[in-house]
Chains A and B, each alone.
Chain A
Amino acid sequence: MEVTRTRTNGAADMRVRGLKAQQMLRGELAGKDLDEFVEERLLFTQLETAQNWARKNAIFPLGFGLACCAIEMITVIGSPRNDLARFGAEAIRFTPRQADLLILSGRVSIKMAPIIRRLYDQMLEPKWVIAMGACSSSAGMFNNYAVVQGADKFLPVDVYVPGCPPRPEALIYGIMKLQDKIMGTPDMGWRERYQAYGTEEDARPEALRESPLDQEEPGGPRA
Chain B
Amino acid sequence: MTDNDPLAVPYRERERSVTMERMEEQPVSGSEALVEGDLHEELFTLNIGPHHPATHGVLRLLTTLEGEVVRDIKPIIGYVHTGIEKSCEDQQYWKVITFVERMDYLAYYFNATAYCMSVERLLEEEVPARAEYLRVIHMELNRIASHLFALATGALDLGAITMLWWGCRDRDLVLDLFEMSSGQRMHPRYIQIGGVFEDIPPGWEKKVRGFLDVMPTRLDQYEDLLDRNEIWLERLKGTGVMSQERALELGVTGPLLRATGHPWDLRKAMPYSSYEDFEFEVPVGHQGDNYDRFKVRMDEMRQSIKIVEQALDGLPEGPFITSNRKVALPPRHELATSMEALIHHFKLVTEGFRVPPGEAYVAIESPRGELGCFVLADGSSKPARVHMRDPSFVNLQSLPDMARDSLIADFIACVAMLDPILGGIDR
Indicate yes or no for A touching B, C-beta below 8 A.
Answer: yes
Interface residues of A (CB under 8 A from B): 63-68, 70-72, 74-75, 78-81, 94, 96, 106-107, 109, 111-112, 115, 119, 141-147, 164-165, 167
In addition to A63-B55, A144-B82, 14 A-B residue pairs with Cβ atoms within 8 Å of each other are A65-B55, A65-B57, A67-B82, A70-B55, A70-B57, A74-B168, A78-B156, A79-B169, A81-B172, A94-B53, A112-B58, A115-B50, A141-B99, A147-B82
B165 near A71: Cβ-Cβ < 8 Å: no
Q: When A74-B153, A78-B152, A80-B168 are in contact, do A146 and B82 touch as well, CB less than 8 Å?
A: yes
A63 to B187, CA, bound (A): 23
Interface-located stretch among B73-81, B121-129, B298-306 = B73-81
A164 to B99, CA, bound (A): 12
Q: When A74-B153, A94-B53 are in contact, do A68 and B169 touch as well, CB less than 8 Å?
A: no
- Min CB distance A223 to B, Å, is 24
A16 to B390, CA, bound (A): 76
Contacts of A96 in B (CB 8 A): 51
Q: When A79-B169, A112-B50 are in contact, do A164 and B187 touch as well, CB less than 8 Å?
A: yes
- Min CB distance B249 to A, Å, is 29
Number of interface residues of B (CB under 8 A): 38
The one of B51, B57, B169, B185 in contact with A67, judged by C-beta atoms closer than 8 angstroms, is: B57
- Min CB distance B61 to A, Å, is 14
A58 to B58, CA, bound (A): 26
A71 near B80: Cβ-Cβ < 8 Å: no
The one of B55, B153, B169, B426 in contact with A109, judged by C-beta atoms closer than 8 angstroms, is: B426
Interface-located stretch among B83-91, B239-247, B262-270 = B83-91
Interface residues of B (CB under 8 A from A): 49-53, 55, 57-58, 78-84, 86-87, 98-99, 102, 105-106, 149, 152-153, 156, 164-165, 168-169, 171-172, 185-187, 422-423, 426
- Min CB distance A66 to B, Å, is 6
A75 near B81: Cβ-Cβ < 8 Å: no
- Min CB distance A135 to B, Å, is 8
Q: When A75-B168, A141-B99 are in contact, do A63 and B53 touch as well, CB less than 8 Å?
A: yes
- Min CB distance A3 to B, Å, is 36
A147 to B55, CA, bound (A): 21
A112 near B168: Cβ-Cβ < 8 Å: no
- Min CB distance A163 to B, Å, is 10
Indicate the member of B49, B52, B99, B426 with the most A CB atoms within 10 Å: B426
Contacts of A144 in B (CB 8 A): 82-83, 86-87
Closest B residue by C-beta to A95: B53
- Min CB distance A67 to B, Å, is 5
9 A–B pairs (Cβ distance < 8 Å), ordered by A: A68-B187, A71-B105, A72-B185, A79-B168, A80-B165, A96-B51, A111-B81, A141-B98, A165-B185
Q: When A68-B105, A81-B172 are in contact, do A112 and B79 touch as well, CB less than 8 Å?
A: yes
Contacts of A115 in B (CB 8 A): 49-51, 79
Indicate the member of B84, B102, B152, B156 with the most A CB atoms within 10 Å: B102
Contacts of A165 in B (CB 8 A): 185-187
